[in-house]
Amino acid sequence: MIRFSHVYKSYPNGALALKDVTFRVSKGEFVFLTGHSGAGKSTIMKLLFAEQRPTAGEVRVSGYIANSLKADEVPKLRRRLGVVFQDFRLLEDRTAGENIAFALEVTGARTDTIAARVMRVLTQVGLSAKSRAYPRELSGGEQQRVAIARALVNDPAILVADEPTGNLDERATRGVFQLLRDINAGGTVVVMATHDLDLVRQTNYRTIELREGSVVYDSAVDEADTVGAQ
Amino acid sequence: MRLLTREALLSFRRAPLLSTLSVTTIAFSLFTIGLFGLVAINLREALRGLEERVEIVAFVLRGTPAETITLASQDIAAFPEVQDVNFVTEQQALARARAELVEFKDAYRDLQVNPLPASIEVRMKQGQRDAATVDRVAERLRGFGFVDDVRYGREWVQRLDQLRNVTGLVGLVIGLAFAAVAVVIIGVTIRLTILQRAREISIMRLVGATNWFVRGPFLLEGAIKGFLGGLLSLLLCYAGYLLFHDNGGGPFGGLIFFGPQQMLLILVFGVLLGLGGSLVSVGRHLRHV
Ligand SMILES: Nc1ncnc2c1ncn2[C@@H]1O[C@H](COP(=O)(O)OP(=O)(O)OP(=O)(O)O)[C@@H](O)[C@H]1O
Ligand SMILES: [Mg+2]
């Protein structure tokens, strides 16, 4: 589903955000990206949904090679991904339902199917009663659930979540995390960047740790090595 | 499609002042072009009437035999620029003078010798009545040995020609200046809208909206403004037209207004103006969102 091969990324200001990053994510996986602030987690996310292009190396996502993506292929790739951020990125002047419908309208979905699809994902995230609430009327956890519902409404193969619990208290964090686990259990690949090591330790999902732009630990590779060495 | 039009129309509510300003500048641009255009087409109309009467008169030397003149007339009639040729004998000239100049009727009746020369009147074909062609034909007439003098309204033909060209040019220059201002103002409006809506646009992109989908409302917005501007300019032109036309009778009695094709042209030009302004601005500013 995802393959990074010797990926380097430097920003126009000269900052080298990624150095020789190689990993691969298969169908059905749940992957944590961890590392200190500035380690390059968000940069990997941006490469995944083609907001940034790699400086060197190759990024493959869901059958697309992100390096050479043409302008009209970027939207196609993004429709196969769901993206969630720490700051929710909801439109304040639209209700929860309208925010989700927006993602469908924008991709030219048939108007008569929109209402049903919005209701389905709202139910999935447990907010079917809040369809008409505006973001300011929702708690942080609820807003993030709306954002996740919006990410899910196009039935993505991969859900990319950049510190989705970064702004949430413990209880809301647990709720959102459980939701992501359920989504993964349904077959969707989830890539989640996080600072929250408690969350990482709770489960034995695969973890990739970055330090100053390099992968310093990948549980899928290193644990296999450790086992092999014994 | 509904989303597209809704977004496009929303811009009028989001930036009412700038939107009105865009429409007004487009209207003024087209109004200027239109006004000078009206003057130009009315001048052309007037010229057409006058040009009907453009003729070259070649006065014939006294004592030239009639056959020579008849033959020469046939030659002249065969010139490609010439519509028809009319030979006026000395007697006919006198008769005309008597009929037209009633005050001198008595004087002419008492004459012993006819003082008026015979003449050949040449009328030019339509489309050949410009100063240069008239000049050329006059020159050839002078070449006939029996022709004493050639007269034609060369001066005013040239001047009307120039007047028409200058009017058209001045209108175009001022109109284009206004058009440039209109494009800039549309650009500023769109830049503002894009800044206002940067968040919304980035979310649109994130969930997979195509570039054209993002641009669509802005382009439609520009086109609508251009259309409204064109419509307003036609109204202004019509008001200006009525102002002169209603005085009736006077020198402006027979004024004409644009035909449907010309009105359509103005509207199309307005739409293109609005579309152009937004296309330039959208291309430049959307990249940074
Ligand atoms: N748009 C940008 N322009 C220039 N430099 C950038 C840009 N985005 C990130 N960087 C730099 O790239 C490096 C990695 O940034 P990145 O955002 O990927 O880190 P992160 O791991 O997500 O950090 P955090 O945990 O704070 O979100 C940092 O040094 C940062 O300064
Ligand atoms: Mg980050």
- For chain A, the domain total comes to 2
- How far apart are the C-alpha atoms of B22 and B81, rounded to whole Å? 50
Last residue of a domain, one of A97, A123, A155: A155
A150 touches chain B (CB under 8 A): yes
Instruction: Judge if A54 and A17 occupy the same domain.
Output: yes
pLDDT tens for residues A24-70?
A: 999 999 999 999 999 999 999 999 999 999 999 999 999 999 888 88
Same domain (yes/no): A176, A124: no
Domain extent, residue A140, equals: 89-155
% chain A with pLDDT above 70? 97
The pLDDT, as a whole number, for residue A229 is 46
Q: Do B209 and A111 touch (CB under 8 A)?
A: no
CB of A117 within 8 Å of a chain B CB? The answer is no
Beta strands A206-211 and A214-218 are antiparallel
Mean pLDDT of A187-214: 94
Residue nearest to atom 13 of ligand 1 (CA): A17
Residues A95 and A180 in one domain: no
Contact A106 B200 (CB under 8 A): no
Q: What is the pLDDT of residues B116-163, one digit of tens each?
A: 888 888 888 877 777 788 888 888 888 888 888 888 766 666 676 777
The fraction of chain A above a pLDDT of 90, given in percent, is 85
A193: Cβ contacts below 8 Å, ≥ 6 apart = A32, A33, A34, A41, A42, A44, A45, A161, A162, A163
Searching chain B, which residue's CA lies closest to the CA of residue A155? B207
Q: What is the mean pLDDT of chain A?
A: 92
The whole-number average pLDDT for the span A126-144 is 95
> Do residue B207 and residue A154 have CB atoms under 8 angstroms apart?
yes
Whether residue A37 has its Cβ less than 6 Å from ligand 1 = yes
Residues 37-66 of A with CB under 8 A from B: 49
Do A75 and A161 lie in one domain? The reply is yes
- Inspect the interface and report whether the beta carbons of B207 and A102 lie closer than 8 Å: yes
Whether A123 has its CB under 8 Å from any CB of chain B: the answer is no
What are the structural domains, with CATH classification, of chain B?
Answer: 2-49+160-286 (no CATH), 55-151 (3.30.70.3040)
Please report, in tens digits, the pLDDT of each residue of chain B (289 residues total): 666 777 777 777 777 887 888 888 888 888 888 887 787 777 777 766 666 666 788 888 888 888 888 888 888 888 888 888 888 888 888 887 777 776 666 666 667 777 788 888 888 887 777 778 888 888 888 888 888 888 876 666 667 677 777 877 887 888 788 778 878 877 877 787 788 778 888 898 898 888 888 888 888 888 998 899 999 989 998 888 888 776 555 555 567 788 888 889 889 988 998 888 888 888 877 776 6
The domain boundary residue, chosen from A137, A155, A173: A155
> Looking at CA atoms only, how far is residue B213 from chain A in angstroms?
7
A12 interface with B at CB cutoff 8 Å: no
Write out the DSSP string of B166-197.
Answer: HHHHHHHHHHHHHHHHHHHHHHHHHHHHHHHT
Q: Both A143 and A195 in a single domain? A: no
The length of chain B is 289
- Are residues A164 and A143 located together in one domain of the fold? no
For tokens 């070449």, what's the residue?
B143
Whether residue A11 is found in the same domain as residue A66: yes
ipTM value of the model?
0.84
Assess whether A173 and A71 both reside in one domain.
yes
3-class secondary-structure state, position A34:
strand
Q: Domain with A13 in it: what CATH number?
A: 3.40.50.300
Task: Read off the pLDDT of each residue in A86-96 and give the average, rounded to a whole number.
Answer: 93
Kindly report the number of other CB atoms within 10 A of residue A139's CB atom.
12
- Of A155, A178, A204, the residue at which a domain comes to its end is A155
Structure-block tokens of residue B37: 């255009």
pLDDT recorded at residue B66: 81
DSSP state of A181: H
